[in-house]
Amino acid sequence: MAQKLDRRKRYTRMALKNGLMELLKEKPISSITIKEICEQADINRSTFYSHYADQYDLLTNIEDEIIDELNQALLQYDYTQEKEALAMLNYLLKYVYSRHEHFRILFSEHGNKRFTHKVMFAAQTHIMNDFNGPEHKMSETAAKYMTIYSISGSITVIEYWLENGMKESPDEMARIITEISKPC
């Protein structure tokens, strides 16, 4: 019986998340009502409120789920090794590609800028160690700014890639981002 309830809860949450993502294609989160989400998901309001406080809570849950998955992936790589850094970027781009519709929506003007900041913070936390190695003659402050600069540029390139139909493969995009991220 407990497994059946868990399956129903998972289904309900998935339906609500998908409903919100569909609505975000058309308008910003601030213009979306609980009623619209429930209609889109074919779920009643009381069921919605048994899972989420409001539409922002639901959006935060979607964002946090993606960030958790990214963090788990980022923990597996050593950024001081160039091959691993490329493999990590390749994995991340394949992940973005597999969930491209969600990323396209969350990075769009209808999403929440907070998501971009969450992605930047997650990446910065993992990459900072690369700039703190002995081969870099860079202060910690400069390393932070260099990391933010590199990550924000990469995110902008990924947003452009998503918006323009992902004509390049994730492997090709990983090579492009690696190439343009190298210091001159």
Does residue 66 share a domain with residue 151?
yes
Q: Are residues 46 and 72 in the same domain?
A: no
Regarding whether 120 and 40 lie in a shared domain, the answer is no
Are 84 and 31 contained in the same domain? no
pLDDT at 124: 82
Q: Are residues 64 and 111 in the same domain?
A: yes
Q: What is the DSSP letter of 44?
A: -
pLDDT at 113: 82
pLDDT of residue 182: 72
Q: What count of other Cβ atoms lies within 10 Å of the Cβ of residue 52?
A: 20
21 and 106, same domain (yes or no)? no
Confidence of residue 183 (pLDDT cuts 50, 70, 90): low
Per-residue tokens: 103: 């990323």
Mean pLDDT (the chain, rounded):
87
* Cα 49 to Cα 73: distance, rounded to the nearest angstrom: 32
Question: pLDDT (tens digit, 9 = 90+) per residue, 137-173?
Answer: 677 788 788 888 888 999 999 999 999 999 999 999 9
Q: Which of 37, 52, 67 is the last residue of a domain?
A: 52
- For residue range 33-63, list pLDDT tens digits in order: 999 999 999 999 999 999 999 999 999 999 9
Residues 64 and 40 in one domain: no
Domain that holds residue 40: 2-52
Same-domain status, 145 and 171: yes
In this prediction, residue 136 carries a pLDDT of 57
First to last CA, the chain: 61
Instruction: Look up the pTM and report it.
Output: 0.82
Q: Give the total number of structural domains in the chain.
A: 2
Closest CA to 108 of 19, 14, 29: 29
Residue 29, both tokens: 């989160």
Conformation bin of residue 94: beta by default, left when phi > 0, alpha when psi is -120 to 50: alpha
Measured CA to CA, the distance from residue 92 to residue 66 in angstroms comes to: 11
CATH of the domain at 21: 1.10.10.60
